[in-house]
Amino acid sequence: MTHRIIPTILCGGMGSRLWPMSRVDQPKQFQSVSGAGSNTFFQETMLRHHVDGFGNPIVVTNAKQTAIVARQMRSIGMDATIVGEPIGRNTGPAVLAAALFALRNDPDALLLVLPSDHIITGDINRIIMSMADAADNGRIITFGVEPSYPETGYGYITDGGAFGNYAGLHHVSKFIEKPPLEDATALLDAGGSYWASGISMLRADLLVSEFARYDQGTLAAVSEAVAKAHFDELGASILEELAFVRSSNEPTERLIFERSDRISLAPLPGIKWDDVGAWNSVHSISEKAGNGNVTQGDVITHETSNSLIRSEDRLVAVIGLDDVIVVDTADALLLASRNHSQDVKKIVEQLKERKRVEVASHRRRDMPWGQIERLRDSGSCEMDMLSVEKGGRLMVNGTGHGISVLTAVSGNAECELPTGIKRLKAGVSVVIDPDYSMPLVNDGEEPFVLLHVTVPELKALGEQVVDLAKTEAEIEELGQIEAKLDDMAASNAANGTLGAA
């Protein structure tokens, strides 16, 4: 039988132990695996199963993150059905929603449920394909990884004996949720236990029927949320919130797998797998340079060993340190012992309590039309850099508390002012009132980059733009920004790139 397995990629969760790379609005799965320029965890998951025998994926993500999903798919030339969750309800409702969407196109749809933020090496697709007949015939396949040490942060699946009619498939004896160290050690010593990888495969219609047996309330809620879904501006299907919130906030394993008599285990021999849950894991799985160091970005080390040093935008130098984690981003720096990498989550909890913006978002954010980066927010002046993709359309909004000055940095675009249509190119500026939303479209052949400056003290167009710099310090600061923009424009012209924007 020829199988068309549908990768069903789950993009929920923050990955708080990987802060400051991972944020609430730009979580781990959308961050690069090996530093700037490399694919993200999500992209690697998409590409891993972009081979014969697999269909177009279904991606289930936070409704606020459909833009970043669409942008990252475009950058690797892939397409998918995007389903947006208005509120997180764990993996059970997410997988059920994906199954209901899949059944619209194929009554025999076979789902391969995948976390979006794991690192996997080895020919896992060969093992998955070998289990397709069993899944087609009504087995729920959960894939297990042979443990290499007594990890207490993973769930375990114990082997209940081989099936006679499916080579490589085993019965499940029991599920064990994150055992203490003593129990995890005993499981390894006894053999026959596997880490739960979070990967599973089953028929979409079987999942629906199992929910009808074990959780009719969630089936009714998710079915209604799917039926009442609406499209966002990117074409993603956004589930109806009032219905979806009534579903069980539980993982698929607890709602279905641990209760179903259809559950089966497929070990993954020869496959290296890591959920990359903390910075120490990133160090462990990454290629080492001299002295056991993993360096990503512009990094220099001296008398430093067995460390992970990651820089996004600037030079980081580390001297005389061993077994440390250094992660430098535009607005936050993490320095930690590798032995305490799990405790990053405690810092994130403190940031949330203090309502710090650094836990929620990076300065640079993906938007449906491109990217926006906050350059400065001093109270008296707000500055953002916008990069609009070719064909991108947006409304540049006045902030409501001051006029906005827009200055084109590179590229070409068209905007609509109250006085009429205006062409924008490098060096051209326009001013908009606090409450005016200005339509803008990049009708050029390259990205359009502009600087958006808002000054709360200026309330009307009648005031002169020169009032933006009322003091010598402000004049000097604006001059420095202008020089930076000139340097960026020159660099863009030389390299044909957008640089940081």
Is the pLDDT reported for residue 76 higher than 60?
Answer: yes
The pLDDT confidence band at residue 403, using thresholds 50, 70 and 90, is: confident
Is the pLDDT reported for residue 461 higher than 70?
Answer: no
Residue 464 resides in a domain: yes
CA distances in angstroms from 19 to 88, 295, 341, 383, listed in the order given: 20, 17, 10, 25
Same domain? 204 vs 335: no
Residue 378, helix vs strand vs coil: coil
The Cα–Cα gap between 350 and 330 comes to: 20
Domains contained in the chain, number: 3
pLDDT at 53: 93
CA distances in angstroms from 269 to 75, 112, 185, 292, listed in the order given: 32, 18, 20, 27
Which CATH number fits the domain that encloses residue 221?
A: 3.90.550.10
500 vs 14, residue with greater confidence:
14
Same domain? 60 vs 205: yes
Residue 322 resides in a domain: yes
* Helix ranges (DSSP H) in 166-215: 181-190, 204-214
Same domain? 212 vs 304: no
Task: Give the tens place of pLDDT for each residue, 287-338.
Answer: 888 899 999 999 999 999 999 999 988 999 999 999 999 999 988 999 999 9
483-484-488-494 Cα dihedral, nearest 10 degrees: 50
Same domain? 239 vs 298: no
Residue 305 resides in a domain: yes
Show which of 319, 353, 387 is a domain's final residue. Answer: 353
The Cα–Cα gap between 60 and 221 comes to: 17
* Helix ranges (DSSP H) in 249-343: 252, 279-285
The Cα–Cα gap between 475 and 467 comes to: 10
Same domain? 331 vs 373: no
Same domain? 196 vs 325: no
Same domain? 331 vs 383: no
pTM for the model: 0.81
Same domain? 153 vs 85: yes
Residue 358 resides in a domain: no
Q: Which domain holds residue 259?
A: 5-274
The pLDDT confidence band at residue 486, using thresholds 50, 70 and 90, is: low
Distance of CA 398 to the CA centre of its chain: 29
Same domain? 164 vs 300: no
Same domain? 127 vs 237: yes
The Cα–Cα gap between 167 and 447 comes to: 53
If 0-12 CB within 10 Å is exposed, 13-18 middle and 19+ buried, where does residue 499 land?
A: middle
Residue 359 resides in a domain: no
Which CATH number fits the domain that encloses residue 472?
A: 2.60.120.10
Same domain? 41 vs 117: yes
Show which of 353, 381, 396 is a domain's final residue. Answer: 353
Task: Give the tens place of pLDDT for each residue, 327-363.
Answer: 999 889 999 999 999 899 999 999 999 999 899 888 8
Same domain? 320 vs 244: no
